[in-house]
Structures are given as C-alpha cells and as structure tokens.
Structure 1
C-alpha cells in the first residue's frame, strides 16, 4: 500500500487542486480525496463517488513519474496523513470538514 499527495497546478476553476490517494500494490486507487479551490473536499472509494470525484480506472504510476510532469507536484505521504484528510472529507450526507494543513 502507498499513499500520495499531488498538487495540480492549473487555472481550471472547477477542477481539484490537490489529490490524495491510497493505492494498492498493483497501482489501483482504493480511496481518493480531492481538494478544490474553494476548500471543498470530496472523497471516493469502491462504493461511493461524487459527480466530480471517482477512482482512477487505470493504475497510478510511480510518484517520480507524476512529479516529473510540469503540472504536478507529487510526494508520498504516510497512512496517518491520508487518514487525516480522509476523515476531513465529506461522505454522503456528511458535512464537509475544513481543510487543515
């Protein structure tokens, strides 16, 4: 299992600016949190997704490959860091939590 934090550098107002992923040993996302410019957090897993946030259908490459792309800044994070942002993200019917750093 690995955990990633990716900052997406772009000017698209409706797209997320940060992505947090829990990734299995084969490279597939198990859970994801997206953070939007307005600080809204949305999450997805195998059972739940939103109109804007769903799991990738293709394997996620190594963090070095993601980070090498100009529009992304990627780094590995700990499971605890992922769990913190996961718990802050709104589940269905939940109120979203604030973004904390």
Structure 2
C-alpha cells in the first residue's frame, strides 16, 4: 500500500483543498479523505462515501506527474497519518 497526501491550491469553493488516498500496487484508490476550506471532511471507500467524494475509477497518475501540475503538492505519507485522518473523517 501507498499513502498519498495532496495539497490543491485553487479558488473553487466546492472542491477539496487537501486529499488523502490509500492506494494499491496499481495506484488505484482504496480509501480517500477530502478536506474542504469550510472545514467539511468527506470520505470514500469501496463500501460507500459521504458528500461528493468518490474513489477514482482509473489508477492515479505517478507522484511526478501530479507534482508537474503547479496547483498540486503531492507527498507520500506514513500509513499511521492516513489512518488518523480516516478515523477523523469517519466520525464527522
């Protein structure tokens, strides 16, 4: 498993500013958490979702491809960090 955190710099009020993804070996999302500027937190996994958050149908691009887009700041994170945000999303 890989765990990805992506900061997204934009001015869209209805889009998340921080995305966390748990990825399998093919870079397909297994679980996702999205944070919004207004404080909202949504999540998705194979069993369901909240808000407008959904798992990507296609594998995610490589870390380098994501980083090549100026508005995105991706980073690999430890599993424990992902589990912390996942737990927070599930109780909100």
Query: TM-score normalized by structure 2?
Result: 0.94
Number of equivalenced pairs: 92
List aligned pairs for 1:1-101, cutoff 5 A: 1-90=1-90, 94=91, 96=92
Structure 2 residues not aligned, in runs of 5+? none
SS for the counterpart of 2:48 is coil
Q: Deviations over 1:34-84 (max 9, x none)?
A: 000011111100011134100000101221211111110100000000000
Structure 1 residues not aligned, in runs of 5+? 97-101
Query: TM-score normalized by structure 1?
Result: 0.86
Q: Which runs of 4+ in 1 moved over 3 A?
A: none
Q: Is the Cα contact below 8 Å between 2:10 and 2:71 reproduced in 1? A: yes
SS for the counterpart of 2:17 is strand
Shift of 1:16: 0.4
> Could you tell me which residue of structure 2 aligns to residue 99 of structure 1?
none
Return the structure number with greater helix share: 2
